[in-house]
Structure 1
Amino acid sequence: MVTHKGKDWRTEQFRLGVCYYPEQWPDHLWKDDFCRMKELGFSVVRVAEFAWSIFEPEEGRFEFDLFDRAIDLAHQCGMLVIMSTPTTTPPAWLTAKYPEVLNAKQDGTVYQHGQRRHFNYNSPIYLELCARIVTQLAEHYKDHPGVVGWQIDNELNCEVNTFYSKADHAAFRVWLQDKYGSLQALNQAWGAVFWNQTYSDWSQVHLTRPTPTNSPNPHQALDEKRFFSDSAISYAKFQSEILREKAANQWVTTNGMFGHLDSHQMMDDTLDVFAYDSYPNFSTILPDKGDRPLLDRKWSLNLSAARDVSPNFIVMEQQAGPGGWVNRIEMPSPKPGQMRLWTYQSIAHGADMVLYFRWRTATMGTEIYWHGLNDYHNRPNRRIEEAGRIGGELKRIGGQLLGTTYQAEVAILKDYDNEWDGELDVWHGPLTGKSISGWFKALQRHHIPADTKYLRSSTTLEDLTKYQLLVYPHPAIMPESTAELLKSYVENGGTLILGCRSGYKDTTGQCYMQPFPGPLADLCGIEVEDFTLIGPLQQAPDIQWEGGNLLQGDAFVDILRVTSDNAEVLASYASDYYAGKPALVRSTRGKGTAYYYGSAFTEEAAGALIAENGLVSPAANWAELPEDVELAIRSHDGMQKCFAILMNYAHEERGVTFFSRKRDLLTDTVLHGIVTMKPFEVYVIEI
């Protein structure tokens, strides 16, 4: 854990701002830019994440004039500044002189200079050069009255989250030696006796490499992901330690939430606050699969994961325009009102500071189609007008929201081991995305706020008992300690819902020699007597629920056998060779209940379980909300003040019925009876 934290990142007002690149624009534009930002209600800018060669144009020679002038001017115009360590894009002089800093593909092909994130985290010379530039920047800007915080690097593990340079292979061996202590223990953990993979010397051990079947040892692959994460965290931590020593009065963050990185551990070890980059329009090119996709509304699920890392967080990059590189990521423009909707979506889920990406669209480089607030011509446009409206609103009411936290009585459980193991293991990995999507759709359309909660070795019973219901879709890896924690949660009155393929692997990824679901079998009162994937030419089975609902399973079938007098069958398979066999079993234990569902969760199945458990929206006693409107609730500790945020994601008007008089704080308008919400409209209501 962090032993010394920097300055608190919060301020007395809600900070709205923007990412700015003074090195990309003539300096005669700067003052006008900062003045216009201030007029919009902005008060913070992020700078310098890609500016290493500006600060160090050649090795060992440092220059600060450009950013000194820009930061001084921003401060004079009333703007706070978040500085960045510029280590995400090492300069050409560095990669030319020290090619060992470059990352490599799994087959050993070395990435070349260009684009970004082309380095590795374990090159000793790269760490040395990073330490030097971070130290220089920290010492230079530590006392600047306008600089309030630091962003470490930029979007760790974005673009590429695998690392196979020579330095990484060497560091992996050291990491394994520290973890296992001996080759004998490593061989056992990796099941190396299978297919004669046993190692007799540490020099034989590597990260995964190409194989004839393109299928590495799964236990090696799991440890590899853990190593990638630890490498990134170590890289962030050494920068953070420099900043804490040299610039102790400025806070530290980093942005993004990307693959093969335990963001929770990074937060614990390294940061004062977590920052997330919110781009809901990715949903137009990566829609959630299945019926009735949520599109940009599904970004609330991503924001809930960021909120689990840091209950209140910064959105360092909020989408402000259509996104697109010159060769990929083609997105439509946000419609009028959508940028405002997305801003309040971030705020609803815990953001206490929001910066748009970016102030002005780049006229050069790969991101010339990743649009910011201003277009190339720098003249007024509808996005600027919309930003000004948001700035005025938050100037009036933003302070009331600061420090309030998102309220939920339901949580969807995740963990990094299953996430990483499921990338390779198609017998459980793909199920999780299906089921989380089904549950999130059902909860959203029932207007039941939900958290994402990552289970970790540090998770306590108190962390879980604040939730009425937990959904853990397909936790194949189930340590005994986690099973015991879940048992305690249920015994203390909680409701736990599990899906198929639960509980059959240990922390190495090896399978227990126990009936499925392994250490969860006693809690659930069942054993899995048979199972099958649903093949591509097969029909998913019908499932007959008590009370008459006939729903369809999805993707996989666990055929259950009840083993406890405290368990009862709530649904059975109605088709195929397992017709009549249990599909959903409810088991009571202590004060609580555990459910085991033998398939992947659809929205319909999740909706049936919501009804089974009597879950209702916290808005049920004061409003009737249509499906397209999201409900989020933020409140202060002790619920002294509670705010409901309603967001209409529909491209058409939607009617909301208010049973009692409420007031929209954004417009100071009374809401009562049937009220028409415009497309993308937002209400903030004190309740």
Structure 2
Amino acid sequence: MKPIDALKEFRLGACYYPEHWPESLWEDDFRRMRELHFSIVRVAEFAWSIFEPQEGVFSFDLFDRALDLAHKHGLKVIIGTPTATPPAWLTHKYPEVLNVTQDGVTLQHGLRRHYNYSSTKYRELSAIITRQMAEHYKDHPAVIGWQIDNEFNCEISEFYAPADHDAFRAWLQEKYGTLDKLNAAWGTVFWSQTYTDWEQVFLPRPTPAHKQPNPHQALDEKRFISDNTISYAKVQGDILREVASHQWVTTNGLFGHLDSHRMNDELLDFFSYDSYPQFSTLNDSKGEENPLADRSWSQKLGVVRSISPNFAIMEQQSGPGGWVNRMDMPSPKPGQMRLWTYQSIAHGANMVLYFRWRTATFGNEIYWHGINDYHNRPNRRVREAGQIGSELALAGNRIAASAFKADVALLRDYDNDWDGEYDIWHGPFAWQSAASWFKALNRRHIPSDTLYVRSSTTIEDLKRYKVLIYPHPAIMRDETAALLEQYAREGGIIIFGCRTGYKNEHGHAYMRPFPGAAAGLCGISVEEFTMVKGTRAATSMKWNGGDEALTGADAFNEILYVEDDSVEVVATYASDYYAGKPAVTRNAFGEGEAWYFGAVFNDASAGQIIDRLGLAAPTASWLSLPPDVELAIREGEDGPLFFLLNYSEQPAVITLDVEKTDLLTGSTLSGTISLEGFGVVVLS
């Protein structure tokens, strides 16, 4: 199979660890996988000590037998390079490969991901094991692809080993060239931080004020970590391309301080993700009204889709999950595993592997349950997997020939993501607003994408969407503002929230009226602003119109001043000293328009804008759905596929005014039907 064709055929499978099980179980495991219509397994991502039990001594016997047996049963194999878990001989002999905390504590052998990317010795040893494995398995008939490492930057995404400080210094020298330019970028004249020699420059280290570094240094730190991670992954990617060029390359992740878009563009054939929807359930805000729970995982999948329009799920949650001492997730209820599987597929997955085939009997993950329990007897999760396998054996390839479709996109960018980790004047707002917009759109059955704004983003990328929401882009380059102006001029609708456009790429505040780079597009300036905290009470917005609806404004409020005659005031503040002042504006700009929302979005305010724009579900003319059912659309040459996902345990009533076929069962549906609790229908 050519790499470009990797995801054209739908595949269902499981993560499998032959080194954990008696060899007498292997054949029965593979036989039962095929009975469930599984066609692929992932192996070896943590098995370095098996492949290289001593430095320079390589052993492939165990995995040769396992892969040969998988091939006998018609299973394809993804091999993980095992560099997430360096063996004990390595870390003992070469302690410089270990990661170090900001406080200087060396993280020792005993878990996983305890290495640093900057160590030249670790890069050398990683290259050796990758090349040995690639040479050995490049022609194995079962092997179709490789996963580089496992979950880059999971567990920890900051690195402070001596090699990291050296690598950061070299990265800065390449980026800035001179200390004068570095000092200017970091604003080091403030508090006498000016550097006069490169040897004085380090990654952020503990400071008197709770380890708080220079904010511009902190932003560059995140950029460095991302570049350094990608350069480490490239060591392996280049070897795999050279040695096993007919096998595809991916990696799994979506973790902090990593530009996954760039990594995918430069190293991978497609991106992969590990989907555990119950993390969303556990993290729902306490007391939140109408939380989306596991349904909010669809927003995560939208981020994955922005990296790779079609992707693989290397680990799909299949049971209760947790390590011995943390992450105690409950068991999925009957139907939920199937629901989560189709959630991943609806949002772009063309390959899904369950984690894991059988629950481990030892180690930190003895409670991270797979499809099979320890006893290996049939259970309802196995039966549910069999139902999914049967459905996808018939429908999978039709689904794989399509891609997700949306007319609305939420914009993000890495600069603001990383700067917002430290800057509480915009970072926390971005998460709240993005969640509110996603929830408001999702409950109205309006599919949405996530789109990352990058230096490579073009006007054609933006024009795929009728509406763009960019909640709080504090950092905005003039080039980005010009691109968004072109988008609006040519008919697009762009929506901003407070704290927009007032910083440059270094995180310095512009000496311009807020919203800085976006001021010309929005036609307003910010007269005054305030955090809503302490003695400053929350207020409301009064929206113009017949009902003069009120929505809350309770985090950060900007008082707007209209600069252009083309601007319409859509809402005003209802109380406090700025009562009656503009809170929301709409500016006619060319053929399109720019909205400015002077606060942090909530569900109700996002809903007001959705309604005023006249946005509706693309199926509104023929399909009626309750709020608990998600609509996702994938479209291909054979026409659109409409995924209806019921996240409620209770049946949902849906009404079709036209006749459609359920792709999963072949049944013809029309009129009023009942969709079972946690049920899924794919209409064609």
TM-score range relative to shorter protein: over 0.9
Change (3 A) 1:43 1:536: farther
User: Does the CA contact (< 8 Å) of 1:288 and 1:294 recur in 2?
Assistant: no
What are the within-5 Å matches in structure 2 for residues 227-376 of structure 1? 227-288=224-285, 290-376=288-374
Out of 172, 183, 187, the position equivalent to 1:176 is 172
Q: How far does residue 399 in structure 1 lie from its aligned partner after superposition?
A: 1.0
Structure-1 residue corresponding to 2:140: 144
**Residue type of the alignment partner of 2:126:** C
Listed one character per residue, the Cα deviations across residues 361-386 of structure 1 (whole Å, up to 9, x for unaligned) are: 00000000000000000000000000
| Contact 1:288–1:437 (8 Å) recurs in 2 | no
Per-residue deviation, residues 461-501 of structure 1 (Å, max 9, x unmatched)? 00001100000000000001000000000001000000000
Matching of residue 187 in structure 1 with residue 183 in structure 2: yes
Assess if the C-alpha contact under 8 Å between 2:85 and 2:112 holds in 1.
yes
Residues of 1 paired with 2:216 and 2:467: CA distance?
A: 32
Q: Distance in 1 between matches of 2:487 and 2:401?
A: 28
Q: Are 1:633 and 2:633 an aligned pair?
A: yes
Task: Determine the C-alpha separation between the residues in 1 that align with 2:157 and 2:337.
Answer: 29
Equivalent residue of 1:96, what SS? helix
2 CA distance for matches of 1:538 and 1:512?
A: 26
Output the amino acid matched with 1:354.
V
Instruction: State the match for 1:454 in structure 2.
Output: 452
Distance (Å, rounded) in 2 between the aligned partners of 1:535 and 1:488: 37
User: Is the CA contact (8 Å cut-off) linking 2:645 and 2:678 kept in structure 1?
Assistant: yes
CA contact (8 A) 1:13 1:395 kept: no
AA aligned to 1:454 is Y
Label 1:647 to 1:94 Cα distance change in 2 as closer, same or farther (>3 A).
same
Partner of 2:674: 676
**2: CA distance, partners of 1:11 / 1:202:** 47
CA separation in 2, counterparts of 1:485 and 1:237? Answer: 31
Q: Which amino acid aligns with 2:256?
A: G
Deviation at 1:403, TM superposition (A): 2.6
- Residue identity opposite 2:556 in structure 1: F
- 1:653 Cα shift? 1.1
Shift of 1:672: 1.7
Question: Residues of 2 paired with 1:199 and 1:239: CA distance?
Answer: 36
- Once the two structures are superposed, what CA deviation does each residue of 1:220-243 show, in whole Å capped at 9, x if it has no partner? 000000000001111111100000
1:85 aligns to 2:56 (yes or no): no
Query: Counterparts of 1:441 and 1:11 in 2: how far apart (Å)?
Result: 30
Alignment of 1:20 with 2:22, yes or no, is no
1:670 Cα offset (Å): 2.3
Counterpart of 2:435 in structure 1 is 437
Give distance in 1, aligned partners of 2:668 and 2:678. 19
Q: Secondary structure at the match of 2:329?
A: coil
**Secondary structure of 2:391's partner?**
helix
Give the % identical residues: 61
SS in 2 for 1:324: strand
Amino acid at match of 2:633: I
Partner of 1:495: 493
Shift of 1:140: 0.3
Task: Decide which of 156, 161, 165 is 1:165's aligned counterpart.
Answer: 161
Give the one of 39, 47, 51 matched to 1:51: 47
Residue in structure 2 matched with residue 480 of structure 1 by the alignment: 478
Structure 1: how far apart are the matches of 2:464 and 2:398? Answer: 25
> Is 1:652 paired with 2:653?
no
Displacement, 1:662? 1.6
Query: How many residues are matched?
Result: 680
Match of 2:605?
605
- The 8 Å contact of residues 56 and 63 in structure 1, kept in 2 or not, is answered as yes
**Cα distance in 2, alignment partners of residues 404 and 109 from structure 1:** 49
Q: Distance in 1 between matches of 2:20 and 2:264?
A: 31
User: 2:191 and 2:324 mapped to 1: Cα distance?
Assistant: 46
Structure 1 residue 9, shift from structure 2 partner: 4.7
Distance 1:240 1:588, change over 3 A: same
Cross-structure match for 2:592: 592
The structural deviation recorded for 1:11 is 5.9
Listed one character per residue, the Cα deviations across residues 498-554 of structure 1 (whole Å, up to 9, x for unaligned) are: 000000000000000001000111110100010000004543211000111111113
Aligned to 1:329, the other structure's residue is in SS state strand
- Following superposition, the deviation at residue 13 of structure 1 comes to 3.6
Say whether the 8 Å CA contact 1:494–1:593 is kept in structure 2: yes
Task: Tell me if structure 1 keeps the 8 A contact 2:491–2:592.
Answer: yes
Offset at residue 7 of structure 1 (A): 2.4
2:117 counterpart residue number: 121
Q: Is the 8 A contact 1:157 1:258 kept in 2?
A: yes
User: Counterpart amino acid of 1:230?
Assistant: D
Distance across 1 between alignment mates of 2:353 and 2:104: 38
Q: Structure 1 residue aligned with 2:129, among 122, 126, 133?
A: 133
The alignment's C-alpha RMSD in Å is 1.0
Give 1:520's aligned residue: 518
Give the 3-state SS of the residue equivalent to 1:305 in structure 2.
helix
Query: Residue 568 of structure 2 corresponds to which residue in structure 1?
Result: 568
The alignment partner of 2:252 has SS state of coil
User: In the alignment, residue 628 of structure 1 is paired with which amino acid?
Assistant: D
In structure 2, distance between residues paired with 1:559 and 1:7? 53
For residues 559-608 of structure 1, what are the alpha-carbon distances to aligned partners after superposition, in whole Å with 9 as ceiling and x for unaligned? 10000011010100010011011000100111000000000010110111
In the alignment, which of 487, 505, 509 is matched to residue 507 of structure 1? 505
Q: 1:536 to 1:323 in 2, by over 3 A?
A: farther
Deviation track 1:292-336 (CA, whole Å, cap 9, x = no partner) reads 110000000000000010000000100000111100001110000
For 1:465, the aligned partner's letter is K
Q: Distance in 1 between matches of 2:591 and 2:139?
A: 56
Q: Counterpart of 2:152 in 1: which secondary structure? A: coil
Deviations 1:234-269 (A, max 9, x none): 111110000000111100000011000000000011
Letter in 1 for 2:30: F
Point out the more displaced range, 187-196 or 534-543: 534-543
- List aligned pairs for 1:365-444, cutoff 5 A: 365-444=363-442
TM-score (norm: length of structure 1): 0.98
Q: Deviations over 1:250-290 (max 9, x none)?
A: 00000011000000000011100100110001123211563
Distance in 2 (alpha carbons) for counterparts of 1:640 and 1:73: 37
Tell me, yes or no, if the aligned pair for 1:6 and 1:272 is still in contact at 8 Å: no
Which amino acid in structure 1 is aligned with residue 232 of structure 2? Answer: Y
Distance 2:537 2:371 in 1: 49
Q: Is the 8 A contact 1:267 1:273 kept in 2?
A: yes
Moved more, 656-665 or 109-118: 656-665
Q: Does 1:67 align with 2:63?
A: yes
The answer on whether the counterparts of 2:8 and 2:350 sit within 8 Å (CA) in structure 1 is no
Contact 2:7/2:350, CA 8 A, preserved across alignment: no
